[in-house]
Every structure is written in structure tokens, then in C-alpha cells.
Structure 1
């Protein structure tokens, strides 16, 4: 048995001892909270969570620092492929955990480590509301063009996220705004579909393809019409999108409006915007 194995066993004993004596020492055997807590703890360990995972998920910064000082592997994964950093970010509101996340990254946690769904910490941050943590991940080499199992990048996540500061940060640090997912959808499609006007404009301003088509042949303008969003239609038209592109059903955005939106309260307005574009 080498010294690392001995250290691990001693570490587990120390932590178990601490768990026991965090309860009423005279009555812990009869405590209603002791057995469920310990059972939960062991259940999580059986799912591949390390002690570091549990400490991070609990928000216990001092324990995380202690474990990292003991050279516990910061990139150990649970059964879902998550490091302690990913579990922390997926488990709770992590916006106030800047110092703990800094500790994990400084200890060598990979900001681009993906779980079984291909999600990285950068994906999670892009869908959140902490620009500070996103900046930190980028500073430690976080890749804004990494793709998950569905082909989505952090730019997709930020495009669906209503946070305007997040999309600005992501766009300004991303190398490619036109990566499409497995359905052929670009971040611009997602921004349009979620009605995020600021996002649409900043994506276009930074080089997003205005006329990119998904695997159904639909452009962002098609999506805006499907969403019955006249303001979004107008925004895309004002940025000189090609309104004449046909999808795989041989339908332009105008055709979709005429075929599917005649009973929509926004039909007349959308139709007028498209007619005006045609005349110009």
C-alpha cells in the first residue's frame, strides 16, 4: 500500500469523524437527522461523487481548500462525467462562489471538461447570470466554441439567455458565431427564437450569418415569422436579410405568413413588413 492510498484512507476517516461530531455527540445515534444525512452522503459517493464534489456542492470553501492542499484530483468525475466544478455549477446558484471556483481552477480543474452530455462549465456559465465567473473561465482557457452532444456551443446558450451582458461578453471572446448544432441551428436562430433583440443585433454586428439555414432550410427570418414576432421580422429586414430564401418546403418567410399565420393577431403587420421589403 503506497502513501497516497494511506492518505486517502486517513482523509476519509478524518472526514467521517468530522461528520459524526458535527451532530450532538451524546445523542447522535438517536438523531433523526444523522442516518438520513449519512445515507445520502454514502449514496452520493456510490454515484462516483468524490469528497471534493460533496464539499464543493455544499459550498464549503474551507474544506475544498483543505482537500486541494491534500492534492485531491480536481478533475475526478462522477458517473455523469462531472468534475467538482461542474457539479457545483449544476447543483446550486454559483454566482456567489467566485472564490471557490477560483480555487478549483487554480488547482488545475479543466474548464473545458465535458460531462456525458458534452456540457462544459463554459456552457453552464453561458446560460447563467455571472459575467465574473464567465470571465474567470475564459481567463483559464475556457473554450467558447466547444460543442455538447447536440452540437450546441456556449454561444448558443448565451443566445437563448436573456442576459445582455453575458451575450456581449461571449460574442466578444468567441471565434466563430456561425457554428450550427445537429439540427443546423445557429446561435442567431436561437436568439431570434427566444425574442432576444439585443442578442440578434450584437450577433449580426459581429459577423453572424444573417441568412444561415437550419436543416429544414429555415433562416432566422423564417424563425421570426414562425414566432409571430413582427418586431423581430422588422429587425432582420432592417439588417438586409434575404427575405426571398425558400426552405425545404419551398416556402419563403412570406409564404409561411400567408399559409400559417392568417389567424394570428400579428399577421397583417408581419405581412406588411414583408411586402415593404419586397417592394424595396
Structure 2
């Protein structure tokens, strides 16, 4: 089954292999210091004093060449004190970067739990979608980070939101073999019968990967064995086709 995320793909603007780069969390922005203004550089580095100084000359919501705000950069790198300062000074919470990702999405993708909590407490929208239709909850399911997923759901994240392939966070968690995440989503009311654009259910995804534990979990929550996708295949057919007849 096709992977939903391509986090490892090289994007335009990424530094060439072997180029110098500071260590950064998975999913964080690749930064070229020469392309960043003083305020953006300070936010990315977590230099609160320089952020304060920079706001005297620059807009708190100013964009760099990749449409990132200081809040995007602080969130991606886990600088909670800078995030708090920017939020308390009324920065805009829901602006998009070039990938249509909000600061909240970047904080979730980079698993910056404190930053996520600050943003949600101040009203950041958990239901915005990026260029692939993925919400913050999709990103949490992919991480996987059960704590972040629970926090997002508590702040009214749509648990059955579909991305452009029709996949919900549950479908993604199943495809990535994240049993704990699957359990959490189902306990919180995720639709066990969710269907993607090809009418495939989470049970079919689990069966095609030979994930017996996940199959059992999904069946326990009432997954339908008889449902057929656009090819007329059932979950059992998926298991057999992928070599898991037993």
C-alpha cells in the first residue's frame, strides 16, 4: 500500500548532502542562516533577548523566503519561552508556511510537546490542513505520539479528518503499525469503518500488512469483515493477496 507521508523526500531548497547543518529534531526546517533575517534567526536559535530586540524593528509576523514566521521557527525547534513571548505579544497563530503548515503543525511534527500545549491553550486551530490534506492529528498519528494526539483531541481536533487520499489518522496509524495509537484513537471514538478514496478500511490496511494484533483490535471495535473496496476485495482478500492467508 502506498505510503501517505514522504518526510524523507528531498525538497527544493534543502542543503546538498554533506553540507554543514545544525542538529535538529525530525521534521524540523533545514535552515540556511544567510537567508534568515535577525528576528527569524533569533527565534530559530531560541535567543529570547534577540527576539525582543528584533521586534523593535521587525514585524512579529514577518515572513522569510519560505513563508515562515518567527513562531514557525521557534515551534519547530522547541523554544517554548520564545513561543510564549510571541504568543503573549499577539502574533498570529494560524499562518501557513510554503508547505501549508501552521506553527502548531510544525510543533506536532517535531514533537515539541510544550510548544503544542502553549499554542492550543492560546487558541491555535488544530483542524487546519497542509498541502496534502493532513491535519495536526494526522502528524501526531504518524510520529507516533500518543500524548500529542490526546492533547489535540481534547482541544477539538477532528478525529476522523480525511487527507487528500481519504485517510484518517486511524488509517495512518494502522498503516504505520502503531498499536498504541490505534487503541487511543478507537477509545476516543475514531470511526473503525473509515474509508479512503478506494473504499479501503483500516481493517483492510491491517490485513494487507499481516498485522494480526491490529486486526484483533479493530475487530474488537466492530470492524466489518464483509466490506468490499472499489476492486470488490474484502479484508480477507487483502490478507491472502499479500501472503498472509493464515
TM-score by length of 2: 0.82
- Structure 1: how far apart are the matches of 2:157 and 2:138? 13
Matching residue of 2:236: 254
Number of residues of Structure 1 aligned to a counterpart in Structure 2: 215
Q: 4+ runs of 1 displaced by more than 4 Å?
A: none
Unaligned runs of 5+ in 1: 1-39, 269-280
Choose which of 186, 189, 197 in structure 1 pairs with 2:171. Answer: 189
What is the DSSP-based 3-state SS (H/G/I as helix, E as strand, rest coil) of the residue aligned with 1:85? helix
1:54 aligns with 2:41: yes
Higher relative contact order, structure no. (Cα contacts within 8 Å, ≥ 6 residues apart): 2
Offset of residue 211 of structure 1: 0.5
SS of match in other structure, 2:91 = coil
Question: Which residue in the other structure is 1:154 paired with?
Answer: 136
Tell me the equivalent position of 2:155.
173
**Larger Rg over CA atoms:** 1
Question: Which string of whole-angstrom CA distances, capped at 9 and with x for unpartnered residues, describes residues 59-116 of structure 1?
Answer: 2211112223x163111111211101212334x4x2xx21111111112222211112
Counterparts of 2:153 and 2:181, CA distance in 1:
9
Question: In 2, Cα distance between the equivalents of 1:50 and 1:74?
Answer: 12
TM-score (norm 1): 0.72
Q: CA RMSD in A?
A: 1.7
Task: Report what 1:32 is aligned to.
Answer: none
Following the alignment from structure 1 to structure 2, what is the Cα–Cα distance between the partners of residues 175 and 118?
A: 17
Aligned counterparts of 1:176 and 1:163: Cα–Cα separation in 2? 17
Structure number with the higher helix fraction is 1
1:104 aligns with 2:86: yes
Look up the match of 1:205.
187
Compare 158-167 and 142-151 and name the one that shifted more.
158-167
